[in-house]
Amino acid sequence: MRFWKFAPLLAALALAAPARAQEKPISLADAVQIGLENNHQIQIVTRERQVAQNNNTLANAGALPTLTASVNFNNRYDDRPNQAFPDQRFRATTNSVSPNLNLNWVLFNGFAVSASRESLSLQEEAAQVAYAATIEQTLQQVILAYHDASLQKERLEVTAEVMALSRDRYQYVLSRKELGSAVTFEVLQEQNAFLSDSSNYLLQKINFENSLRALNLAMGEQPDAPYLPSERLSPMTQAYDLQQMVAKAEAENKNLQSLRLSRSLNETAIDQARTALYPRVTLNLGTDFQGSRFALTVEEQKRSITTTGYDFYGNLGVAYTIFDGQNRHRQIENAQLQHEIAQVRVEQAQLQLASQVVSANAIYEARKQVERVAEQNLEAARLNLQIAEDKYKSGAINSFDYRAIQMLYLQSALAAAQAKFDLVDSHTQLVVLTGGLVSEGQ
């Protein structure tokens, strides 16, 4: 039978089967967990958050004194002729120790301590927001990559189904030709359909493999990691209140939170610049101790002297810059301008965010309708294909009509799968804009 001349193609298709023993099924929840554990950027921002937490202390803000201790050891030995009696040697040993304890404390620096502590707290909060934003971005990447792999898997199943129908029909028309009830034209037409569907299957297999590699990348795994999505596309069709969504976005959107924190940091920068207008009061306390021993040897006659002494000191200093060419006022004015710029950016981001939420919600609602229509269209196309198969075998329709109905089913199935993915994508984007992906992911 001429069908067997396509044995190499059939072997290639068999090797490209969608289900393989070496692949490990994985759920969306497990994929997200792996992605959060392996993501390098999350590891970076986790450490950056720890750095910000470590920096937020009273000592780093300048509220605590500095206490230092030091000690010096000096040793000297002299061996030289005695100037009064040149035939004699003058030998002397000197040893001394000088410990010191010193305390420095800035008692007042124009409220710089409170401004610095507030700035450090805001920096810690900003690091936390950056951490949450990175987790949110990772979740979005893994979710979309997982569902894209599920989409490509469903598309592969559809192309495999259509290819199987073309193969069966090709075998059927070959059998008819051997019995004399089909002509070469019909055989060539079915052969062309089978080869075309086989090519589509192989190309879709490549798309599916690429989507698995993209999923592995999103999870932080090696490209050849044996993971296979176990869940089919199942988009959510939840209804949202638009005003509540806009309000939630303004309160929880990570980008907007970051801009607000930047504005607050600029506000503390104004307070820090104003500290230069105040005097600086410092306190310096300490104590010194000195002990020394002097040993002299002249013609085997030895003498030694030991002395000790100590002191305490306390100093209070006040410094104030009377004139610096208006540099302090210039720095304050620049800080105020930076704060105004930050405020404008917040207002701009709020308007853009509200518009994005409205648009994303409109797209989400439209895609819910598209997904329902696509599912209904698929059901009708599947039923039409079943009816057409019986009619084709009975001779009620020709191969051209059957092929058209078959291609309509293929397009409907692919469109239905794409509609489900688009709905997942729009829902994920809407949740990201409203800052709810992290809480929902948790």
pLDDT tens digits, 306-348: 888 889 999 999 999 999 999 999 999 999 999 999 999 999 9
Question: Does pLDDT of 7 surpass 50?
Answer: no
- Summarised one tens digit per residue, pLDDT across range 124-136 is 999 999 999 999 9
- Mean of pLDDT values over 98-126: 94
Question: What is the distance between the alpha carbons of residues 430 and 362, in angstroms, rounded to a whole number?
Answer: 10
Q: What pLDDT is recorded for position 88?
A: 67
Percent of the chain with pLDDT over 70: 91
Question: Does pLDDT of 21 surpass 50?
Answer: no
Q: What pLDDT is recorded for position 328?
A: 93
Q: What angle do the packed helices 242-252 and 327-394 form, to 10 degrees?
A: 130
Q: What pLDDT is recorded for position 91?
A: 77
Percent of the chain with pLDDT over 90: 69
pLDDT interval class at 3 (50, 70, 90): very low
Q: What pLDDT is recorded for position 277?
A: 93
The secondary structure of the chain, three-state, reads CHHHHHHHHHHHHHHCCCCCCCCEEECHHHHHHHHHHHCHHHHHHHHHHHHHHHHCCHHHHCCCCEEEEEEEEEEEEEEEECCCCCCCEEEEEEEEEEEEEEEEEEEECCCHHHHHHHHHHHHHHHHHHHHHHHHHHHHHHHHHHHHHHHHHHHHHHHHHHHHHHHHHHHHHHHHHHHCCCCCHHHHHHHHHHHHHHHHHHHHHHHHHHHHHHHHHHHHCCCCCCCEEECCCCCCCCCCCCHHHHHHHHHHHCHHHHHHHHHHHHHHHHHHHHHHHHCCEEEEEEEEEEEEEEEEEEECCEEEEEEEEEEEEEEEEEEECCCCCCCHHHHHHHHHHHHHHHHHHHHHHHHHHHHHHHHHHHHHHHHHHHHHHHHHHHHHHHHHHHHHHHHHHHHCCCCHHHHHHHHHHHHHHHHHHHHHHHHHHHHHHHHHHHCCCHHHHHC
Question: What is the model's pTM?
Answer: 0.82
Question: Does pLDDT of 296 surpass 90?
Answer: no
Report the chain's mean pLDDT, rounded to a whole number: 88
Question: Does pLDDT of 180 surpass 80?
Answer: no
- Mean of pLDDT values over 71-100: 80
Domain ranges in the chain are 235-279+327-442
CATH no. of 235-279+327-442: 1.20.1600.10
pLDDT interval class at 190 (50, 70, 90): confident
Q: What pLDDT is recorded for position 83?
A: 67
- Chain-centre distance of CA 420, in angstroms? 26
Q: Give the least confident one: 101-110, 111-120, 185-194, 335-344.
A: 185-194
- Mean of pLDDT values over 191-215: 93
Q: What pLDDT is recorded for position 222?
A: 92
| Amino acid, single-letter form, for residue 272 | Q
Q: Are 172 and 1 in contact (CB under 8 A)?
A: no
Question: Does pLDDT of 290 surpass 80?
Answer: yes
